[in-house]
């Protein structure tokens, strides 16, 4: 993974999780790492969160938070998703994460190919950025771990949808529960299979 940006450049990696879910918010994280922290996190196995088991992701949360110069989370609610659409809600979650950093970054490395509109900060989109930049990989892990914990808690509030297992994605059991129980307030009704 690349860490070519110098320590004075204050680079933030940004990623979001939950775009393809039927339930719950989209969650984004922004993480600022010095090159030395990138090297340490690479040695610990930080990579794209989708390549890691839930237990492995959880084990990396504290090292990322400890080694990061700064980090923050942002989310877009189901209401935001329904109001804006999933792409713009994802970009809003990323904006909210970046705005919560204590110091505005000199450069934002955005996972994917969509720049964040009206961000007011220098940004660079990186396709498959969570595999190429440790800053983005660390952000993907923090966002995924936080969102998964949230969905497990919401599973207790909305039983019957198997949320603790499917994390809000459209598994067969989740889709069947939607047919029999109907959608909750946290379901994305504009998504196919949710209304």
For 14-34, write each residue's pLDDT tens digit: 999 999 999 999 999 999 999
**How many structural domains does the chain have?**
1
* Full residue range of the structural domain in which residue 34 is found: 7-157
Asked if the structure places residue 192 within a domain, the reply is no
Asked if the structure places residue 116 within a domain, the reply is yes
Asked if the structure places residue 100 within a domain, the reply is yes
**pLDDT the model gives residue 192:** 87
Asked if the structure places residue 177 within a domain, the reply is no
- Please state the pTM of the whole predicted model: 0.94
Asked if the structure places residue 171 within a domain, the reply is no
Asked if the structure places residue 167 within a domain, the reply is no
Residue ranges of the alpha helices (H) in the chain? 35-44, 54-67, 78-84, 86-99, 129-132, 134-157, 163-166, 172-181
Asked if the structure places residue 42 within a domain, the reply is yes
Asked if the structure places residue 107 within a domain, the reply is yes
Reading the chain (195 residues) residue by residue, the pLDDT tens digits are: 544 444 456 899 999 999 999 999 999 999 999 999 999 999 999 999 999 999 999 999 999 999 999 999 999 999 999 999 999 999 999 999 999 999 999 999 999 999 999 999 999 999 999 999 999 999 999 999 999 999 999 999 999 999 999 999 999 999 999 999 999 999 999 998 887
* Residue 58 belongs to domain with CATH number: 3.30.420.10
């Amino acid at each position: 993974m690349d860490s070519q940006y110098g320590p004075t450049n204050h680079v933030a990696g940004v990623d979001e999780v939950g775009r393809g879910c039927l339930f719950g918010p989209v969650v984004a994280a922004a993480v600022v790492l010095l090159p030395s922290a990138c090297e340490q996190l690479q040695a610990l196995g930080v990579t794209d969160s989708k390549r890691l088991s839930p237990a492995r992701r959880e084990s990396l949360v504290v090292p990322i938070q400890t080694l990061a110069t700064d980090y923050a989370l942002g989310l877009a609610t189901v209401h935001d998703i329904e109001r804006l659409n999933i792409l713009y809600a994802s970009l809003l979650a990323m904006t909210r994460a970046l705005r919560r950093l204590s110091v505005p970054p000199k450069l934002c490395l955005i996972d994917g190919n969509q720049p964040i509109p009206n961000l007011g900060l220098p940004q660079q989109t990186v396709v498959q950025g969570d595999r190429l930049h440790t800053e983005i990989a660390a952000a993907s892990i923090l966002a995924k771990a936080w969102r998964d914990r949230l969905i497990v808690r919401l599973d207790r509030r909305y039983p019957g949808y198997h949320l603790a297992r499917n994390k809000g994605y459209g598994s067969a059991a989740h889709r069947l529960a939607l047919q029999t129980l109907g959608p909750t307030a946290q379901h994305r009704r504009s998504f196919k299979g949710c209304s």
